Amino acid sequence: MFEALSYPYERAQTYTDSNLPAVLSDQFYNPTQDNLALLFGALYGQSASIAKDEFERESNGFVTVGGLVGSQFLLQSATNAKASSASGAATGDHGIWLLQNDAGGALHDIIIYDSDNYVGTRRFIWAVRLQLTAGTKAALDTAANSGIVAGMGTLASNLPTFYGGSDQANWRISVNAATYDSGVALSDSTWYWLVVARQTNNDIKFWIKSGAGALTLVRTVSWGGNLTGCKRYLRCLGTAGSAAGHGLNIDMFTRGIER
């Protein structure tokens, strides 16, 4: 569940009828049982929990501060923020909400989040698919001021997050009071999958999928810290130069946590 580029997300082995490789216990039989058990445990048992929002609920107009975004997120913003469901523009856009500057001509501060999770020292995975609308990046506040933040909490929380701003070319990573350049460009109108997960050995791995590219590991940080106050958290903070329509589209925001 917590390793995005391994089984069960990717095949451990491809088995062919005519030239069958050995079906190994540590490659197929045991991981299959373990992964199935973890998924059943997360959905209907006790071993983990999963919460996901596909943003498939239609808004029928605009949601304002204090309203429900998607099915699970509170729109908790201070300034010039509104949200609404939107149509997908391309294959793979499955239930979209647009979070945007409301009035324009002044800064916007769009924040959505769900309930708290006490992750502790357990393994976890957080994943979000989002896209800045046209013209948004240049009007974001700086990265250090939380121009765009997506992950497990605020930038100040030191929880694992992706972040960026108008002063940075790339997505950046914040974790345990340290920051890193992901090496992946942050651009308007590009869909990004941002994924972070903690492994058994306490490695916290960060992956990014940019547009049609592959999901790619961009940073590994070892941290077995006790994580509290973890949310699915997203913030988009504009400057005085931001305009109506600036903001972002969101497609999915999910997380799984070992209990």
Sheet holding 178-185, edge to edge: 68-69, 73-75, 109-113, 233-237, 148-151, 161-164, 170-175, 178-185
CA distances to 14, 23, 230 from 126, rounded to whole Å, are 28, 31, 10
In contact, 184 and 218? CB cutoff 8 Å: yes
* 72 or 77: CB nearest other proteins: 72
254 binds other proteins (CB under 8 A): yes
User: From the list 75, 96, 111, 173, which residue makes contact with other proteins (rule: CB under 8 A)?
Assistant: 96
CB of 58 to other proteins, least distance (A): 4
SS3 call for 137: helix
* 11 or 138: CB nearest other proteins: 11
CA 128 to chain centre: 3
* 43 or 178: CB nearest other proteins: 43
Q: Which residues are CB-neighbours of 50 under 8 A, at least 6 positions away?
A: 42, 43, 254, 255, 256
200 binds other proteins (CB under 8 A): no
Q: How far apart, in whole angstroms, are the C-alpha atoms of residue 55 and residue 256?
A: 17
User: From the list 92, 105, 213, 224, which residue makes contact with other proteins (rule: CB under 8 A)?
Assistant: 92
In contact, 64 and 222? CB cutoff 8 Å: no
Token digits of residue 27: 């490659």
**Residue among 255, 251, 254 at smallest CA distance from 99:** 251
CB of 190 to other proteins, least distance (A): 15
Which stretch in 153-161, 166-174, 222-230, 247-255 sits in contact with other proteins by CB under 8 A? Answer: 247-255
Q: How far apart, in whole angstroms, are the C-alpha atoms of residue 232 and residue 128?
A: 9
Question: Binding marks (x or -) toward other proteins, 130..169, rule CB under 8 A?
Answer: ----------------------------------------
How many residues bind other proteins, per CB under 8 A?
55
In contact, 59 and 84? CB cutoff 8 Å: yes
252 binds other proteins (CB under 8 A): yes
* 85 or 157: CB nearest other proteins: 85
226 binds other proteins (CB under 8 A): no
User: From the list 58, 116, 167, 181, which residue makes contact with other proteins (rule: CB under 8 A)?
Assistant: 58
193 binds other proteins (CB under 8 A): yes
**Residue among 60, 75, 3, 66 at smallest CA distance from 250:** 75
**Residue among 111, 128, 152 at smallest CA distance from 238:** 111
17 binds other proteins (CB under 8 A): yes
CB of 89 to other proteins, least distance (A): 7
* Footprint on this chain of other proteins (rule: CB under 8 A): 1, 4, 7-17, 20, 23, 28, 32, 35-36, 39, 42-43, 50, 52, 54-58, 60, 67-68, 71, 85, 87-96, 125, 127, 129, 193, 195, 209, 215, 252, 254-256
